[in-house]
Amino acid sequence: MKKIFLIIIPLLFAANAAMGQDFDHYFQDKTLRIDYIFSGTHNTQHIAVDELLVEPRWYGKRKRLADVPVEGNGQIIVRDHKTQTVIYRNSFSTLFQEWQQEPEARHTQKSFENVFLVPMPKDTADITLELRDNRRRVCAGETHQVVPDDILIRPIGYKNVTPFTTLQAAKDTNNCIRLAYLAEGYRAEEMETFIEDARTAMEALFAHEPYKRMRDCFNIIAVKSVSQESGASEPSKGIWRNTALHAHWDTNYSERYLTTSHLKAMHDLLAGTPYEHILVLVNSNRYGGGGILNSYILSTTHNEWSQPVVVHEFGHSFAGLADEYAYEEDEIDMYPLDVEPWEKNITTKVNFHGKWESLIGIDPKAGLFEGAGYKLKGVYRGYEDCRMRTNETPEFCPACQKATQELIDFYIQ
Ligand SMILES: [Zn+2]
């Protein structure tokens, strides 16, 4: 017995020590921002590097660097050039991939900005971008080399940082999740309203579990980006407004879908602030919003449903949750019925294992309810109702709560 302990203890110690050193071994405490252009049609995709930038600090994860908590519709993978070891990985979804499902994509080639943040490597790194189709197969990939002392990497966020207010400091700012509310469609004289709206949005989030009990883990700022005009553009009404992020309704010709395609402008405004997860608050009383995994959410602030919407969209962008609704007039084939979706709150029953399986039998309300992921048949949710299904429901269903808690644990434990 003694002999076994003597062998095991040093090994465990060595493993822990190595994990703790990974970040400092491979990375500087700076952010490498990579701007990409994704372009293509319904069945082609091209990835090109637009620009490399460096920001003063790194505000993302420092542990479990090579792992992702959810698969996403794409991944960015950083490898140490010499050893080809994966030293960082993150997952994401994009508006480009949503657009690929649109009729326009069958006859038009279009391009989209995408911006990703990774910790700045100490040594030459190979960075791979992968996109996955809705069958979860890698359908596009591009690898480029980054040399950290490349003179063409542009510094940003070292001066002229957009003013911001800290709404809530995390208990441990060395181990926390950083959110930034960003103002869209607020003029300079409306900044007090923006701060008030950001506080309201923050409290809406913390009224929901598991965010409520994990509140201390979140560091939250409100970034006062100034627009020339109030509101956002409303193409179906012929109204275009000059705003900081050029956000607009009618994305993909869907009236309520509010997005921005100006991701470089968004990150320019955030440069130098302590941000990772981005929540854009739009100064409007219209109903609408959008949320894209590890990219951003947009939500209005002065509609009667603004609070549920901001929380719902954050469920997409932060926790990678799927929509749990389906409407007869608006069914979409986003999830093939013979493929298990990676999202943890819906299933096609192809490989249900590890989702909310453990709640069934223990919670009498848990089950497999047909109708989710924009399909009335063949895609299932775990509960009758949820924040990811309707605005009237006051909370996330236990399946979504479980998935979100696992994700928070991934980041902070
Ligand atoms: Zn749910």
Spacing, Cα 367 to ligand 1 middle (Å): 12
> What are the residue ranges in the chain where pLDDT is below 50?
1-20
For residue 308, how far is the Cα from the chain centroid? 18
- Separation of first and last alpha carbons in the chain: 31
Q: Determine the distance separating the centroid of ligand 1 and the alpha carbon of 386, expressed in angstroms.
A: 5
Q: Which residues pair with 343 in a beta bridge?
A: none
Q: Hey, what are 258's tokens?
A: 């509010």
- Taking the CA atoms of residue 224, residue 229, residue 233 and residue 234 in that order, the dihedral angle to the nearest 10 degrees is 130
Integer Cα distance of 260 and 280 in angstroms: 10
pLDDT (tens digit per residue) in 205-221: 999 999 999 999 999 99
How far is ligand 1, taken at its centre, from the CA of residue 121, in Å?
37
Which of 297, 348, 350, 359 has its CA nearest to residue 326?
A: 348
Q: How much is the pTM?
A: 0.94
Contact predicate 42/100, CB 8 Å: yes
Cα 82 to ligand 1 centre (Å)? 44
Structure confidence at residue 21 (pLDDT): 57
CA atoms of 33 and 44, how far apart (whole Å): 25
Q: Find the Cα–Cα–Cα–Cα dihedral 207, 209, 210, 212, rounded to 10°.
A: 30
Whether the Cβ atoms of residue 21 and residue 37 lie closer than 8 Å to each other: no
What's the gap in Å between 365 CA and the centre of ligand 1?
A: 12
Q: Which amino acid is at 42?
A: H
CB 181 within 8 A of CB 199: no
Find the 345 Cα to ligand 1 centroid distance in Å: 6
Q: Could you tell me the distance, in angstroms and rounded to a whole number, from the CA of residue 75 to the centre of ligand 1?
A: 24
Report the SS3 class of residue 232.
coil
CA of 325 to the centre of ligand 1 (A): 10
Output the CA 136–ligand 1 centroid distance in Å. Answer: 22
User: How many Å apart are CA 62 and CA 358, to the nearest integer?
Assistant: 30
CB-CB neighbours of 137 under 10 Å = 9
- Only one residue has tokens 């402008």, namely 265
Alpha carbon distance 388, 208 (integer Å): 12
CA of 372 to the centre of ligand 1 (A): 10
DSSP assignment string, 55-98: ES---S--SSTT--SS--SEEEEEEETTT--EEEEEEE--HHHH
Q: How many CB atoms lie within 10 A of CB 68?
A: 18
CA dist., res. 146 & res. 123, Å (int): 9
